[in-house]
Amino acid sequence: MPMISNHLPTAELQALDASHHMHPFTCNAELAQKGARVITRAKGVMLTDSDGHEILDAMAGLWCVNIGYGRDEMAEVAARQMRELPYYNTFFQTTHLPAIALAHKIAELAPGALNNVFFAGSGSEANDTNIRMVRHYWAVKGQPSKSILIGRNNGYHGSSVGSGSLGGMAAMHAQGGLPIPDIHHINEPNWWADGGDMSPEEFGLHRAQELEQAILSLGEDRVAAFIAEPVQGAGGVIVAPETYWPEIQRICDTYDILLIADEVICGFGRTGEWFGSQTVGIRPDIMTIAKGLSSGYAPIGGSVVSDEVASVIAKSEFNHGYTYSGHPVAAAVALENLRILEDERIIEHVRDVAAPYLKDKWAALVDHPLVGEAKIVGLMGSIALTPNKATRAVFAADTGTVGYICRERCFANNLVMRHVGDRMIVAPPLVITPEEIDVMIARARTSLDECHAILKERGLI
Ligand SMILES: *Cc1c(COP(=O)(O)O)cnc(C)c1O
């Protein structure tokens, strides 16, 4: 094996990467030709690559590095915990301090009766837990036929067989035999793409009522739960019209359907509150958490469960768990992350400083000839690229062609901004300052201008 270090030239690192490493959500043959960008270190909101570029990470990794990169305290806590107790399980009537303390802290932060935590290693695992838990809940209550979970098209809940089934990503369902039985999907509240002649308010209500129609046609006695992200992340930062969530809550209450809020992105400050459920005004029975729980410093996720559901599950053995449920190092790291979020008032910084500052700059992007709508909640935002704002038209080229060109320009301008189809999305670390937001917006505008020029040149507009 060659000596692999930061001192190797980028091209060599890329070749070594391509020779053995299979990247997720990637055409590896294509990437091997092109070479992956090699990220070597990071601090605050900035990444450094193997060529010494300083890149502003407007995606906080994968929506997770809420406290920003390079916090020494996190490393200290991990090292201390590894020395004291690197691992022990919580299966066989044993527990340990990090799991006790983290469950306690999460119960304190979570709204309402969400006072119980079932730990997992990731968001996908937590949603797999949720599938089994809600079905088991209804079975224990004597209603085993309530086994259908309803999710949304373009929702994202993870990449395992269960969580990938809950999600509504057509490209994922097309591979590997998804979805599993008894999963149903309704349409998402994406007014820009699907609203037609309706006002956003009418459309929000209309899309929420698809849940009611689904329950009525499947049968109330068959539906266990509805799962959704308070703000759809990987689907393109789709912000529901104001009428949507109150109607969803009403429907779940009316038909006795459990509401699962997938807070993997929205949780831990992203929307300017601790949880997205608080921002959109819903009372979930279960929340899925991961990502911002540890700011990505260690892999950990979980299900935060209401007292009612937890008390039913507690009656008998729930035959479910992961080797790394409540992993002591990950739990200690998560606890330190929550301490930093609280002590440094980072959620208040989002609510009072960063989000209001970004909101104006973001909204102003609609001045750009390519930008149709600009949506933002807290520090998660999206812009729709379009050849005609008035008609909300789509490009003649395949969906995603223009988004990809724009993303490539962003990368070339040292800005990580992701594309979902022809929407561009951001979700920077929550610690981003107004000065850094200025840099982010300036780079985004340059990239949009360059993208516009390329589209003209190639006759794509
Ligand atoms: C990322 C994500 C997941 C999956 O989490 P993993 O840790 O990647 O398994 C689930 N739900 C939402 C909303 C996500 O964004």
pLDDT tens digits, one per residue of 91-110: 999 999 999 999 999 999 99
| DSSP states of 43-91 | EBTEEEETT--EEEETTHHHHT-TT-B--HHHHHHHHHHHHH-S---SS
The pLDDT of residue 6? 84
CA within 13 Å, CB half, 164: 15
Q: Could you give the CA distance from residue 263 to residue 285 in angstroms, rounded to a whole number?
A: 12
Q: List the end-to-end C-alpha distance of the chain, in Å, as a whole number.
A: 50
Ligand 1 atom showing the smallest separation from residue 122 Cα: 7
Helix (H, G, I), strand (E, B) or coil at 365: helix
Ligand 1 atom showing the smallest separation from residue 63 Cα: 15
Low-confidence spans in the chain with pLDDT less than 50:
none
Instruction: Give me the chain's average pLDDT, please.
Output: 97
Ligand 1 atom showing the smallest separation from residue 229 Cα: 13
Nearest-10 Cα torsion for 430, 362, 281, 67: 0
The pLDDT of residue 17? 97
Tens digits of per-residue pLDDT, 208-255? Answer: 999 999 999 999 999 999 999 999 999 999 999 999 999 999 999 999
The pLDDT of residue 2? 80
pLDDT above 70 coverage of the chain, percent = 100
Task: Tell me, in angstroms, the distance from the centre of ligand 1 to residue 335's CA.
Answer: 20
For the chain, the C-alpha Rg in angstroms (whole number) is 22
Token look-up 């067989």 returns 161
Task: Tell me, in angstroms, the distance from the centre of ligand 1 to residue 435's CA.
Answer: 30
The pLDDT of residue 38? 97
Tens digits of per-residue pLDDT, 17-40? Answer: 999 999 999 999 999 999 999 999
Task: Tell me, in angstroms, the distance from the centre of ligand 1 to residue 122's CA.
Answer: 7
Site to substitute for ligand 1 among 66, 157, 425, most atoms within 8 A of C-beta: 157
Ligand 1 atom showing the smallest separation from residue 299 Cα: 7
Helix (H, G, I), strand (E, B) or coil at 140: helix
Q: What is the CB < 6 Å shell around ligand 1?
A: 122-124, 156-158, 229, 233-234, 262, 264-265, 290-291, 301
Q: Kindly state the DSSP code that residue 232 receives in the 8-state scheme.
A: B
Q: Could you give the CA distance from residue 301 to residue 445 in angstroms, rounded to a whole number?
A: 35
Tens digits of per-residue pLDDT, 308-327? Answer: 999 999 999 999 999 999 99
The pLDDT of residue 1? 78
The pLDDT of residue 7? 86
| DSSP states of 414-459 | TEE-EEETTEEEE---TT--HHHHHHHHHHHHHHHHHHHHHHHHTT
Token look-up 């990950």 returns 330
Q: Could you give the CA distance from residue 274 to residue 270 in angstroms, rounded to a whole number?
A: 8
Ligand 1 atom showing the smallest separation from residue 158 Cα: 4
Q: How far from chain centre, in Å, is Cα 426?
A: 11
Name which residue sits closest to atom 11 of ligand 1, judged by CA: 157
Task: Tell me, in angstroms, the distance from the centre of ligand 1 to residue 142's CA.
Answer: 31
Name which residue sits closest to atom 5 of ligand 1, judged by CA: 123
Site to substitute for ligand 1 among 270, 291, 377, most atoms within 8 A of C-beta: 291
Nearest to 427 by CA among 362, 345, 353, 360: 362
The pLDDT of residue 113? 98
